[in-house]
Structure 1
């Protein structure tokens, strides 16, 4: 009789489709005295947790006269799954108070909660508990700690734990590769190569992580090698991998390759379409982005918030003002997508670049959503282009209230004052940065040569071929000056003599990278460079003239977009 009733209860729990069914089984188990058996009580608790009915689960848990590590683990994991972090922590603390040893099921849940909340302090305390209970070599626990430290941006701590693991499975490697992808894409790809050398075969999740790392690095040779690996190993080009590859190729400088991937995808969702629209936006192809958006609508794919951010960005970076206004106004009326701060930021950028600053300000004043730092940065950027000092100062005050510790904001305002020749105010802001121990983000430029990536900073002489690079640069400048190039010293933001300003301009990192490219990259191949900041106006003019005088194609990826220089013109139409 016991086994028949027991099997009946278990069978009923397996067949539960909703909380009402579970409660019926719960009542049946009470009537048959089965809740006195810890095994059955835990199975019922597990079923409540699986259906995310944590109030009911807690009611059952609170009335249990016996509990084992499984019971506690179910409650900790259940609260973590529904995002109830307070109860997750509280239950875990109760585990420790009751003298129950946490296991490799409970700990990963709590550690992942610390990861999701970026709660490093609690995470480190739990790491201490891991050491206390001797679980530091447990694979699941250690992998969770690696993930937690990585997401909290303590990459060195994550690396130490990773290196000390006695065995690493594919998930752990993928976590570590993804961690580096967020902060050092080059190291992420080095780690991917190491993983394959150790005999692990990546799955789709690992490949998506690697593709994302390639996108951040912007290295076309790595993008091509990853693509070849995907094709060689017959990974299906599904929505997730295909969309990641669209983004990868777009950010590596080839919107054509991105479109080829898009066209090869058998299944596309709104994210895939949005990624391709964004790709056109990065490269200043606003009309192509609009055509694709219209095609998307004709395929009965409904746009979402991300789609409109991509579309408005494309309009902004192509000077399509009226089109951008039309799409913005249609969001809610035609597509039931309510604009958020990102959409307003795109519109402020679009209107500001066009010199319609009054309209941009009116739009900001009419906003019903909370303003953020990107919105004010967009307005300040427009003020810098059009020399509106008064409005720039107002926007800067709002920006500094939001993020007083961000050095980029001080640099942005300081640059506006420098351009206006207000050196006393430049000195004031630089003094504020010094007192607050804030440092300007240094400018770097990367270039691909022979499947290697080289890095340059302003005035850099660390490259082994530095002498050749500077000789090429000086020779190049003489040729450009004959063709009419005049250095634009407005972009030297220091109060120094004109000749000194010219010398400072000549050694910008972009110019050094281009000079190296002319030496090392065969004629006919494009010179591809990436810049971590916005390219300055003088370097933009310089690149256009090099493309004409030297008959070379130059592709520049800066912090905002791509510039394709050919025969003396840029794809941005000098609108960036």
Structure 2
């Protein structure tokens, strides 16, 4: 039955009510609420339960609890369970079906106190020996971290089914004890799709993707959950290209229709790689199927658009979402901040508060980032103070790093260093690195040398520090010290390689500095050479001082010309039609030379070039950048 059929039946019931003497309204209610749950329209189920059932019985409550639980609405499940027990009578006593739903909610929320309270009700109403309830209890105690209690309940079970063994297997995987889980897996006489998927997820959770893929390949049969486990595993381990590749394989080989879980995982991979074409294809597919955007899928779509450089599309998705949570607001605030729209981010923050949604620690990271990119120091400090004093959110290391970055970029280096020294938690490399960035911008060599020592104490192989020191020593005439830093970089191979991605025709292309592996390498380098010539005529002068290698000027210029984002742009120019926007994702901060070069390229080729680096988005157009050279 579809929701359309349900609306037709409900209209008939309203127009021609069935006399309660001939049939109990609860019987109809159970069926209709079940349909609402199956179609992820719990809201309509609640309306029917509230307005059409004058005296709901335990079966009607169970139908509603199941609808909440199967749609991961954990708070709704617990609220209506509490309503049920408050009305408890001989006709309204909770049963095993009640408890399986509410225990699932407690496990989903990882609420040990609420779970133990429900366990007391289970004992009170004599349901503890029920196999389904016992399985739910074991699952709950594993998920809240009460490993001993879970094992005790499992060991005391007189009867076990495959769900019991799968729950035990999941518990060991959840705890990270995959070796023990594998012993149980290998010893199970009966295995189902859940068994295989649980073991695959267990390996993926600890980064053993090869073992996970081996199991995936030898599965006797796969369903959408199996594919989801492997796709999500790649995403969790930052193998985003592999996640997308496996998704395409799923479409071509399995004949299965991806569900919301699949799409959320793939959209996350698209967001990280900047794979806009695939993300847009998924969005079109959702609209074709007239699929309602729940909060999880809506958040994933908005995040994908924001991280792929389409903040207006992200806002449209956000505005069309029927339900929004704090994550939804945080995604749009962070997206606006990344694109340099600080005032819009502040307005969105105020709008969130007006809707009664309290900000999270991540929300404040988005707001502080907006202040950083706009150079709004005092406003940033105001929000930083607001975190603790107004909302009781203790700043984490990330928030301190953001404020140090904010102060450092504005040249308030004394304040930044004083903040680091007064932090209640030990500063990490990122916090010191934010101050080092300010030292680099404002050429504070003495402070920079001191900051580097702090960084190297925490991370003796921090590549950025050696690059900074090499340049600093060279500028001071300390050539022997500069050479030592360069040798350390070369001998240990500790530099993080710059990498850029660009999507063309639904394929993500990856480029490293000096990359010669692409099939179109000859054409790419020919375009690089052509651009170098045109850029010099337009007044471009390479910033060779940022090259740490001890080579002559010409070799330094050659090295700069093959930075990964320049190769990606050259590929984009030869692979797309004139006027097409070029979108690049880079894993590191765009260097000063590339930033100047891309501004000139955007004017020469008359195209918009959007680059997402580690810090923010840069929209290059007609020789200027949206960051106003402040990044």
TM range (shorter): 0.7 to 0.9
Shift of 1:171: 2.0
- In the other structure, the counterpart of 2:170 is 112
Rounded Cα–Cα distance in structure 2 between residues aligned with 1:502 and 1:46: 67
Report if the CA contact (8 A) 2:185-2:199 is conserved: no
- In the other structure, the counterpart of 2:498 is 443
Shift of 1:481: 0.8
- In the other structure, the counterpart of 1:29 is none
- In the other structure, the counterpart of 1:521 is 576
Report if the CA contact (8 A) 1:286-1:315 is conserved: yes
Match of 1:176 among 230, 233, 254: 230
Q: Structure 2 stretches of 5 or more lacking a match?
A: 1-57, 66-79, 90-94, 107-113, 124-128
Q: Is the partner of 2:304 in helix, strand or coil?
A: helix
- In the other structure, the counterpart of 1:412 is 464
Query: What are the equivalent positions in structure 2 for 1:129-140 lying under 5 Å apart?
Result: 129-134=184-189, 137-140=191-194
Name the CA shift for 1:131/1:451 in 2 (closer, same or farther; >3 Å): closer
Q: Is the partner of 2:503 in helix, strand or coil?
A: strand
Rounded Cα–Cα distance in structure 2 between residues aligned with 1:567 and 1:56: 64
Shift of 1:249: 0.3
Report if the CA contact (8 A) 1:249-1:255 is conserved: yes
Q: Is the partner of 2:585 in helix, strand or coil?
A: strand
Rounded Cα–Cα distance in structure 1 between residues aligned with 2:486 and 2:170: 40
Name the CA shift for 1:308/1:192 in 2 (closer, same or farther; >3 Å): same
Rounded Cα–Cα distance in structure 2 between residues aligned with 1:363 and 1:109: 48
- In the other structure, the counterpart of 1:239 is 295
Report if the CA contact (8 A) 2:456-2:465 is conserved: no
Q: Which moved more, 1:420-429 or 1:198-207?
A: 420-429
Tell me the alpha carbon deviations over residues 508-545 of structure 1, each in whole angstroms, 9 at most, x when there is no partner. Answer: 12112212222221111111111122221111111001
Q: Is the partner of 2:248 in helix, strand or coil?
A: helix
Report if the CA contact (8 A) 1:280-1:314 is conserved: yes
Q: How many correspondences in the alignment? A: 534
Q: Which moved more, 1:523-532 or 1:166-175?
A: 166-175
Q: Is the partner of 1:455 in helix, strand or coil?
A: strand
Say if 2:498 is the partner of 1:474: no
Shift of 1:80: 0.3
- In the other structure, the counterpart of 1:494 is 549
Match of 2:199 among 136, 145, 148: 145
Rounded Cα–Cα distance in structure 2 between residues aligned with 1:246 and 1:185: 18
Q: Which moved more, 1:332-341 or 1:234-243?
A: 332-341
Rounded Cα–Cα distance in structure 2 between residues aligned with 1:526 and 1:567: 12
Q: Is the partner of 2:509 in helix, strand or coil?
A: strand
Rounded Cα–Cα distance in structure 1 between residues aligned with 2:229 and 2:378: 44
Report if the CA contact (8 A) 2:169-2:184 is conserved: no
- In the other structure, the counterpart of 1:317 is 373
Rounded Cα–Cα distance in structure 2 between residues aligned with 1:355 and 1:187: 42
Rounded Cα–Cα distance in structure 2 between residues aligned with 1:241 and 1:510: 31
Q: Is the partner of 1:317 in helix, strand or coil?
A: helix
Rounded Cα–Cα distance in structure 2 between residues aligned with 1:415 and 1:383: 13
Report if the CA contact (8 A) 1:355-1:382 is conserved: yes
Name the CA shift for 1:239/1:47 in 2 (closer, same or farther; >3 Å): closer
Q: Is the partner of 2:357 in helix, strand or coil?
A: coil
- In the other structure, the counterpart of 1:228 is 284
Q: Structure 1 stretches of 5 or more lacking a match?
A: 1-9, 26-39, 62-66
Q: Is the partner of 1:446 in helix, strand or coil?
A: strand
- In the other structure, the counterpart of 1:30 is none
Name the CA shift for 1:258/1:106 in 2 (closer, same or farther; >3 Å): same
TM-score, normalised on structure 1? 0.81
Rounded Cα–Cα distance in structure 2 between residues aligned with 1:55 and 1:241: 32
- In the other structure, the counterpart of 1:126 is 181
Rounded Cα–Cα distance in structure 2 between residues aligned with 1:474 and 1:252: 28
Q: Is the partner of 1:559 in helix, strand or coil?
A: coil
Name the CA shift for 1:114/1:215 in 2 (closer, same or farther; >3 Å): farther
Query: What are the equivalent positions in structure 2 for 1:297-446 lying under 5 Å apart?
Result: 297-400=353-456, 402=458, 410-420=462-472, 421=474, 424-425=480-481, 439-446=494-501
Report if the CA contact (8 A) 2:470-2:486 is conserved: no
Shift of 1:385: 3.0
- In the other structure, the counterpart of 2:328 is 272
Report if the CA contact (8 A) 2:586-2:611 is conserved: yes
Name the CA shift for 1:424/1:200 in 2 (closer, same or farther; >3 Å): farther
Q: Is the partner of 2:162 in helix, strand or coil?
A: coil
Rounded Cα–Cα distance in structure 2 between residues aligned with 1:514 and 1:570: 16
